[in-house]
Amino acid sequence: MTAPTLPGLEPAAPTPVAVPRPGSRAARMALPRSVDVLKEIAAEYGVCVRPLAMRRTDLDTGLTEVIDLPCGATREDKCAPCAKKNRRLRQAQIREGWHRDDEPLPPPEPATEEQKALILFRAHLEFSRDEAIRAAEWGQVEELDEGIREVEEAITAEGLRGRVGPPHAGVDEDADDDTGRRRKRSTKRRQDAPELPRRKVERRTVGRTYTAADGTTYRPSMWLTLTLDSYGPVRPDGTPVNPDRYDYRRAAWDAVHFPRLLDRFWQNLRRCEGWNVQYAGCVEPQRRLAPHAHFAIRGTIPRDTLRTVAAATYHQVWWPAVDVQQYTADRPPVWDEDAAAWVDPDTHQPLTTWTEALDAIDDNPHAEPVHVVRFGTQVDARGVMPGTTDAERTIRYVTKYITKHTGDVHKATTDRQRKHLDRLWRELRVTPCTDRCANWLLYGVQPKKAHAKLKPGRCKGKVHQRDTLGIGGRRILISRDWSGKTLSDHKHDVRAWVRALLGTTTDSGAADNTRQLVDDQGDTVERVRHAWELARPDDPDVGPLSHRLMRSISERARWRSELLAAKDRAAQGSTDLSATQHNARHDGEEGDSGRGFDHRAGRGPDQHE
Ligand SMILES: [Zn+2]
Ligand SMILES: [Zn+2]
């Protein structure tokens, strides 16, 4: 206990670690804020901390209920519980597809009432979004976009294939450029690439089985890491030995076009191997801040083949030259309303249009691509046997960073590292991201579909942002016939298992509100007659976030103990441990916090956190 000191009478002597006077402001500030604790507990229980409130009206009774949908964020800093849930689903997805020995073929089914209701709901959201845009309620638009994404996942989980409509600008993560109709261009160039054998690609996606002398069969799979080329020697901390000679320009362009290079690799590999090779993996920054990619591959491929294909694979970028930066963000070209074109600020001459620039490339028999991306010589590949701890460890490794922003994977902690990041970023800021990038204006070229609103040199594209390190697109890459399921399907599996275990069809897990949307009872239950709309945060029945969180936590806690009891009963009874149960134990949202939950089940070969 410290005796209270009167103000002005504190001893001048050096106060050791100052314990704030009880009751003082400092003491109060040292106490944890209850709202923070609430969020912490929510995270422990896997309850979304920024739920989206939806109002559901029963059309028969007129009863209205506000239901929280999880936000579905994939990054920890937005919502840790949702990000973790997402990671576990990814792990399940990788695990299921990796060693499967039959071809994944999703069965088509007729549309159910539930599916129709979802599509209708999706339509309502579309309408509200349009209204919100007209009213310039951007916060609302953002929320609706989240809602749309969630509903589309639910739609997929309901077994409908394809997208209801194209994504709205700003919603789509891929920000895929639309090089679409490619111009016919000379293929005479780049004959220095080694020739690859070409075979007809079979529809098979499953690897070969090997039989040992004792009759045991093995179906090994692979693990592959692909890296980019060297831009100059680096130290163990990832920074260049000689920053002035490090090729930042090439590093930036390579990072931006890395996804294309990976696409080419899989194309080439399939052609070379003659079967439809499947993969699941992710793109992460290395310590030197260049992207690399890890993949689980189904089946085995000789290491030599992987190396040869990697060495032979390249991606040419046929864009206008960027040797001379004619303008800067401070002295940019200007938009001329009459000419409907970007013009030089002094001469008022229009800049070269995109079409003119590409025509010039086509007409020049000696034209070279402005950039060629290739892999580095480091290609790591090894075999992994199904069901081993090695396989599980690998899956965890693949998904380790997916809840983090690219920029947060390797934090710059020293001056050298900060400078390295700065230099790379400076280059990325002026690297064109797509054919519509506003940065083209710096090089005296009007991008494709140029318009008055472009900000020369200040393109908003993701790759130009400091924390993306030029890795602007999707970081999780999963081939189409990997598990035959989408992420939402895996989510659905987990729920189906939980329901089966509890032996109920009721809403015992009401905290997980998407259940309301994806209930698969179809026509065996009474038809769904609900209207959905987005609740506004200031609606009186929505209630403060803290109240909603507390409700969800309490529901989740009760649900969890109910599930535990059911699991214990199941452990004593049936010995049938289905594959879905295996997944759910590791990946289900009910396993979120650990808390001894996993271990209570006490079954299965692998125990992890
Ligand atoms: Zn969330
Ligand atoms: Zn751009």
Three-state secondary structure string covering 189-225: CCCCCCCCCCCCCECCCCCCCEECCCCCEECCEEEEE
Which of these ranges, 227-241, 389-403, 583-597, has the smallest mean pLDDT? 583-597
Which ligand approaches the C-alpha of residue 470 most closely?
Answer: 2
Per-residue pLDDT at 382 exceeds 70: yes
- The whole-number pLDDT of residue 179 equals 37
**Do residues 212 and 218 lie in contact, with contact meaning Cβ atoms separated by under 8 Å?**
yes
Which ligand approaches the C-alpha of residue 50 most closely?
Answer: 1
Q: Which residues surround ligand 2, an ion (CB under 5 A)?
A: 433, 437, 459, 461
Distance 74 CA to ligand 1 centre (A): 8
H or E stretch at 505:
none
pTM surpassing 0.85? no
What's the rounded Cα separation, in Å, for the pair 132 and 126? 10
Between the CA of residue 355 and those of 326, 360, 362, 447, 464, what are the distances in Å?
A: 19, 9, 10, 9, 24
158-162, 296-300, 384-388, 479-483: which is most confident: 296-300
Residue 118 region by backbone torsions, left for phi larger than 0, else alpha for psi between -120 and 50, else beta: alpha
Q: Which two tokens stand for residue 127?
A: 């309408």
Distance 112 CA to ligand 1 centre (A): 29
- The whole-number pLDDT of residue 514 equals 33
Per-residue pLDDT at 333 exceeds 90: yes
Which ligand approaches the C-alpha of residue 76 most closely?
Answer: 1
- The whole-number pLDDT of residue 598 equals 31
Distance 432 CA to ligand 2 centre (A): 5
**What are the respective helix, strand and coil percentages of the chain, to the nearest 5?**
40, 15, 50
- pLDDT confidence bin for 100, thresholds 50/70/90: confident
Which of these ranges, 55-69, 220-234, 319-333, 342-356, has the smallest mean pLDDT? 55-69
Distance 459 CA to ligand 2 centre (A): 4
- Tally of CB atoms within 10 A around 14: 5
Distance 537 CA to ligand 1 centre (A): 16
Distance 76 CA to ligand 1 centre (A): 9
- Tally of CB atoms within 10 A around 15: 10
Q: State the average pLDDT over residues 457-482.
A: 84
Distance 510 CA to ligand 1 centre (A): 15
DSSP-based three-state secondary structure for 342: strand
Per-residue pLDDT at 63 exceeds 50: yes
Which ligand approaches the C-alpha of residue 459 most closely?
Answer: 2
Distance 204 CA to ligand 2 centre (A): 39
Distance 363 CA to ligand 1 centre (A): 53
Per-residue pLDDT at 157 exceeds 70: no
61-65, 110-114, 195-199, 402-406: which is most confident: 402-406
Quick: pLDDT tens for 555-606.
788 877 877 777 777 777 654 444 344 433 333 333 333 332 233 233 333 3
- pLDDT confidence bin for 167, thresholds 50/70/90: low
Which ligand approaches the C-alpha of residue 150 most closely?
Answer: 1
Distance 78 CA to ligand 1 centre (A): 7
Q: State the average pLDDT over residues 526-534.
A: 58
Pairing of strands 52-58, 530-534: antiparallel
Q: Which sign, positive or negative, has the C-alpha torsion 500, 504, 510, 513?
A: positive
Which ligand approaches the C-alpha of residue 442 most closely?
Answer: 2
Q: Decide which of 370 and 154 is more confident.
A: 370
E strands present in 385-478: 476-478
- The whole-number pLDDT of residue 343 equals 93
Distance 70 CA to ligand 1 centre (A): 5
In DSSP terms, 221 is beta-bridged to 384
Which ligand approaches the C-alpha of residue 79 most closely?
Answer: 1
Distance 53 CA to ligand 1 centre (A): 12
